[in-house]
Amino acid sequence: MPITSIEELSKLIELSDSEKDWKEGKMGSLPLLISDHIASMLSIPAIRRQFVPSYPENTDETGDLDPQEECLHEKTRRLVHRYHNRAAFLVTDRCFSYCRHCFRRRFTGSLQGPASDEEITEAARYAGNHREIGEVLLTGGDMFTLSDERIGFLLDTFKKICPDVILRLCTRAVAVYPERFTEDLFAIIRKNQKGAPYYLMTQFNHPAELTADAIAAVKGFIDLGIPAMNQTVLLSGVNDDADTLIELSNRLLYNRIKPYYLFQGDLVKGTQHLRVPIEKGLEIERKMRLELSGLGMPQYTIDLPDGGGKVILTENHLIEKKGRDYVFTTPEGGTRIYPDPIS
C-alpha cells in the first residue's frame, strides 16, 4: 500500500537526532524532501531506502563531502572543469526529491538557490573561450526545478555564446517528478535546439521507477530527437543483484533509453551503508554481461577518490601473454588464444 500521510512516513524514518535538531535542519547534510510521485511508492523497500533518511546516514564519519575535488576545479562560480574536454555547471542546488546517496552533498540542498544571470553568462563564456571543452553538463541539483522562463534563459545563453558545445541535460526529475515535463517546457527546449545537440542524462536505479509517467516524460525528449542515456548508481539494498539490474537495463532499452553507466558509490560522508563492496559489484557486472547485449550493458565505473577521475571496473579476461600469443578466458570459463600479427 502507498504511504498516505506524514504520520505514516514519519514511522519509516529512523531519527538519530533530537526533535529539536530535526526542526532546525541539523539532521545531516541533506534536507528531507520527497515528491508526491515518490511518496506514492514508499511502500517499495528499494524506493524507500533511496529517499528516506536513516540512522547510519547521520552517524557515518567516513568519506568526504567533496570526493571528486570539484571545489579545486571550479573555474567560474559554479562551473567545474575537471576533465579536459567537458565541464559541469551547477545550475541550482535544488531537487524535487533528495536522494540519500547524493554524491554532491556539499552543494545539494544547501539553500544557495539557482544560478544568477551573471553566473550563467560567465560559465557560458568560459566554455566558449576554452575550445577543448566539447560538452557541458547542466547539473546541480536538478536544472528542471527552474521555471520555464529561467530554463529558457539558461539554454538560450549557452546556445548563443557556445553553440558548438554539446549540452547534457542531467535530471532525476523524470523519475521523481515527471509531471514537470509539460508541452510548454518542451516548446522552450525545441526553440533552443540550434547548434550542437542535447543529450538527456537520466538516473533510474530500480525498475519500479520506470512508471508510465516517467517513461512518458523521457519520450517527450526522445520525440524531439534528443537521445536519452541512463546513469544508475549501484546501491546496497536497492539494486545490488544482477536480476534487478538486468531487468532495469532491458526495460530502459525497450523505452529507448541507453544504459550508460553503473556507478560504484562515491566515498561521500553519510553514504557508507549504501555502498556495495567492489568484489560483489564485479560479480554482478559479470552476470549482467552474460545476459545483456552490448547495447544493454552499462559500464561499471568508479570515480576515484581525491579527484582521481573515472575508471572502468570489469572482469579481466586477459590471463597472460606467451610470445605473441595472448591467452584469454571466455565468459563461460573456457580459454582462447589470440596471436599478434606477424611483422
Catalytic residue list contains 82: yes
What separation in angstroms does the CA of 156 have from each of 27, 167, 193, 219, 273?
Answer: 38, 12, 9, 23, 41
Catalytic residue list contains 95: yes
**Dist. CA 82–CA 85, nearest whole Å:** 9
154: left (phi over 0), alpha (psi -120 to 50) or beta: alpha
**Dist. CA 281–CA 294, nearest whole Å:** 18
Catalytic residue list contains 269: no
Q: Which of these is catalytic: 93, 142, 240, 266?
A: 266
Catalytic residue list contains 266: yes
SS3 for 2?
A: coil
Q: Which of these is catalytic: 49, 78, 93, 95?
A: 95
Q: Which of these is catalytic: 48, 78, 94, 99?
A: 99
Q: Which of these is catalytic: 83, 125, 258, 289?
A: 83
Q: Which of these is catalytic: 102, 126, 261, 275?
A: 102
What is the CB neighbour count within 10 angstroms for residue 47? 21
Q: Which of these is catalytic: 104, 168, 269, 275?
A: 104
Catalytic residue list contains 66: no
Catalytic residue list contains 241: no
**Dist. CA 168–CA 200, nearest whole Å:** 6
Residue 214 · residue 174 · CB < 8 Å: yes
Catalytic residue list contains 303: yes
Length of the chain counted residue by residue: 343
Strands 79-83 and 86-92: antiparallel
Catalytic residue list contains 26: no
Q: Which of these is catalytic: 49, 86, 172, 180?
A: 86
Omega before 141 within 30 of 0, i.e. cis: yes
What separation in angstroms does the CA of 232 have from each of 71, 207, 263, 298?
Answer: 24, 11, 6, 9
As given in the structure block, the three cell numbers for residue 81 are: 572543469
Q: Which of these is catalytic: 191, 194, 310, 324?
A: 310
Residue 100 · residue 237 · CB < 8 Å: no
Q: Name the residue among 54, 94, 42 with its Cα closest to residue 209.
A: 42
Helical ranges in the chain per DSSP H = 6-12, 19-23, 36-39, 45-51, 55-59, 117-129, 148-161, 173-176, 183-191, 212-222, 242-254, 278-291
State the Cα angle at 26 between 204 and 29, rounded to 5°: 35
Bridge partners of residue 238, in order along the sequence: none
Catalytic residue list contains 275: no
Strands 299-304 and 309-312: antiparallel
Q: What positions carry a catalytic annotation?
A: 82-83, 86, 95, 99, 102, 104, 266, 303, 310
